[in-house]
Amino acid sequence: MRKTINLKKGLNLRIEGALADTNVSATVIPANIAIVPDDFPGFMPKPDVKEGDSVKAGSALMHDKNAPDIHLVSPISGTVESVVRGARRKIERIVIKTDTASPSTVATMTSTAITSADDVRRMLKSSGLWAMMRRRPYDIVPMESDRPRDIFVTALDTAPLALNLEEMVKGMDAQIAKGVEAMTKLTDGTIYICVAQGSNLADVKGAEMIELPMLHPAGNAGVQIANIKPVNKGEVVWTLDIVTLAKLGEAILNGKIDYSVETALTGSEVITPKVVKTVPGAQLGELLAGDEKTDGRNHRVISGNVLTGTPEGEAGYLRYPYRQVTVIPEGDDTHEFMGWASLSPSKMSESRSFLGRFLGRKFNPDARINGGRRAMIMSGIYDDYMPMDILPEPLIKAIIAKDIDKMEALGIYEVAPEDFALAEYADPSKLELQRIVRQGLDYMRNEA
């Protein structure tokens, strides 16, 4: 019997540009792709390739300096065009020019025999799937020495305009079951699969199914963990999405991994929001070709959703977790009467001071923060958007002060930056809460 968790805190943003059809409408093989190691916190990259090398789908591009068996792999066949380095020779990205004649998005595994936990770990590391998981505490790529207390699998994405994860694994029940069977070898605890209420995803032997409402941020792994079985000091849990789990099962069953991804093109500045099939790291300009409005406005092209995504521009790349591209107005070319203080009914706000709060319509917001940054206001507003048993405002203050004892007592081991995204959206102080939380997590890890 499935367990149901009802959450009351949260918010679904009513914005234009949602998908009307979740079927894949086109396949885009980009001319070049880029893998960015910054998308994998905790991963210390060391390149395995140099410019001019030929690679195949599944070939190792980088390994972790602290755990050489953990790899980031190429999702496509081609030639290494550049290894881009920044300050202090930090690897910013590896760019691959696609072999368009034979992209070979499906790679054959060298060994698929799974009889022990070591076999599962070896497959996850060599295939690049290990880096697609995260661990609590610290919200980083799992450490090689981890033996997780439990493993949480997310099968719902509640972020604004997000693609339905269940649609991405439709018809893959056998792969999901095999993935669960493999993951049970890695933990002495429970595999939790978190789905939307009313989900059509079949129950999986060996896993406990948990239903949650489609109210953001219920799709965040941190919220699921906090409401099912919170993380205490000294404990480790892993998280991954249902798509990664299905890819693991596919590798075991069929001896191959399809590195292609289904990506939603969404937002008010997309002519017809749709789903395209492409590969991780695809250039956004190629994905959006012919689908971006030419309305004379400046656009913000985001890899991801409006709350947690990375502003990339058309020249940027599809960043992990590769599932969504959002295009909204930049807002720097907008001039309105009274600016941020305007009471126009077209202004999106959850405040009762604005007419838009009561209209029940969808809005077309831009990227402006509508006001300047100011001192932190202890208003308690963060609590309305975080269905977790923590005190978010005192935690943020403790992180800024680098008070380790208070951070531990206030629950930093339970959170990830994405858990503060809605609070950041509503914050009257305009603080960059996600950046602050990431800095706090990194500080705690370095001090451990």
Give me the pLDDT at residue 100, please.
79
Residues pairing with 191 in the sheet: 151, 207
CA atoms within 13 A on the CB side of 278: 31
Pairwise CA distance, residues 419 & 409, whole Å: 18
User: pLDDT tens-digit profile of 187-203?
Assistant: 999 999 999 999 999 99
pLDDT tens digits along 65-86: 999 999 999 999 999 999 999 9
Q: What is the reported pLDDT for 154? A: 98
Q: What pLDDT, on the 0 to 100 scale, is given for residue 114?
A: 82
Amino acid code (one letter) for 214? M
Supply φ then ψ for residue 284, to 5 degrees.
-65, -35
Classify burial at 395, counting beta carbons within 10 Å of its beta carbon; exposed 0-12, middle 13-18, buried 19 or more: buried
Q: Are 265 and 288 a contacting pair, CB within 8 Å? A: yes
Contacts of 87 (CB under 8 A, 6+ apart): none
Compute the residue count for the chain: 448
Angle at 83 between CA 67 and CA 96, to 5 degrees: 100
Q: What is the CA radius of gyration of the chain?
A: 22
Burial 51-81 (b: 16+ CB within 10 A, else e): eeeebbbbbbbbbbeebeebbbbbbbbbbbb
- Structure token pair of residue 422: 């809605």
Rounded Cα gap, residues 281 and 278, in angstroms? 9
Distance CA(369)–CA(349), nearest Å, equals 12
- What is the reported pLDDT for 279? 95
Q: Within the chain, which residues score under 70 in pLDDT? A: 104-112, 337-341, 343, 353, 355-357
Q: What is d(CA 204, CA 225) in angstroms, rounded to the nearest whole number?
A: 19
pLDDT confidence of residue 217: 97
State the pLDDT at residue 194. Answer: 98
Predicted confidence at residue 334, as pLDDT, reads 73
Q: In the β-sheet with 191-196, what is the strand arrangement from edge to edge?
A: 3-4, 207-212, 191-196, 151-154, 237-241, 134-136
